[in-house]
Structures are given as structure tokens and as C-alpha cells.
Amino acid sequence: MTVSLTQSVTELMTTPVHSVSADTSVVSAAEILLDKDIGSVIAKEPAGILTKTDLVSGIHTVDSLEETTVAELMTQPVISVMSDATVQQAVDKMEDHNVKRIAVEQHENADERFIGIISVTDLTGALSESHETAIGMYVGLASADSPYMYECVECGNRITSDHQPESCPECGGPTRNLSVSRD
């Protein structure tokens, strides 16, 4: 699936959202994370998000994990975007709040507030398939079937070739290899 930064977050989000009560023990929440192979659960009332990072960080701050609730270790508030947001808006919000995952929220009057999660891992995987993005450009360069990418150090002209040109065909300047090592 090729993803564009202008597409809706609903096309990229992971579903379903796994949620727990805020008074659930962190041991039970950790079991959900492991069983479902996910990085976070959403807590309800009060709303929060418990991530694997929260769990690891919290281990040193509590006396007993069995007696510790999700509310004690979760991050608040849940950083989210509305379901009609674009992938770019989600990326921008993740950068603004320095978070690795963001919840997708549906409009009011719905049974469930959060309908999906987008993580940095989801973004990198999806955007690596798109040559519109820097990630996609470099991942594409690393594929065994693709030629090497070179750039003129003087004019910035990009050249695709199986071997490094002696000089830039545009200005005659020297070139440098932009390709990722295939070793």
C-alpha cells in the first residue's frame, strides 16, 4: 500500500484500539501488550495512554507492579487527531508533542472515542513505499534491483546510474554517491 501524506489517517491507522480501565493493573495491561503484539493501550476514565516505554520507565518508581494501576503510569492527555485529519497533520502533531504514537479520534456522539492508533513504525513502513518521501527515496535506493543515485556537489543535479559518473552532465561538477550501502 502506497501512502501519501495527504491521505486520511484512517487509511493508515491500526485497529482495533485496545483499551482498559484506568484502574487495571499494569501487569494485566502488559499481558495485553504482549499477547496482541502492540505498543500501547488506551485507558478510559480518565483518558490516558500506557505505552511499553511507560511500563519500562515505571518499573523503577513503584513498589509492586501487581498493585500498580494503569492510571499511575499512563501518559495524559492522549495526543490525538480527528479521523478526518491527513497523515501529514498526524506527523506534525507527533513532532509537536514529541510522541511516537497518536490516537485517531472520531467525532462526538460515537460509542468509542478512539478508533485507531498510528505509530512511528506504521508511518515508516507505509511511507518507505512512497518515493514522494525522503524515507521512500532512501529505501528505494537500497533495493537490490535499483541503480545507484548520485548528486552533483556543485549544482545538486540528481543522476541515476549503475556506476558513478566522472562528472555531472549538467555542469561538469564532481558527483557524490547518495546510495545506501547494499552490503
b vs e for 140-164, b when ≥16 Cβ sit within 10 Å of the residue's Cβ? bbeeeeeebbbbbeeeeeebeeeee
**Same domain, yes or no: 34 and 111:** yes
How many domains is the chain partitioned into structurally?
A: 2
Residue 74 in any domain: the answer is: yes
pTM: 0.66
Q: CATH number of the domain at 61, please.
A: 3.10.580.10
What DSSP element (H or E) covers 106? none
Do 85 and 170 belong to one domain?
no
Q: What is the CATH number of the domain that holds 167?
A: 2.20.28
C-beta separation of 105 from 81 below 8 A = yes
Asked if residue 174 and residue 98 are part of one domain, the reply reads no
- Residue-level pLDDT, tens digit, the chain, 183 residues: 556 778 889 988 999 999 999 999 999 999 999 999 999 999 988 889 999 989 988 888 888 888 899 999 999 999 999 999 998 899 999 999 999 999 999 876 566 789 999 998 888 877 766 555 554 444 444 445 556 778 888 888 888 887 788 899 889 999 888 765 444
Q: 52 in a domain, yes or no?
A: yes
Is there a single domain that holds both residue 114 and residue 167?
Answer: no
State which residues form the domain around 29. 9-127
For residue 85, being part of any structural domain is answered with yes
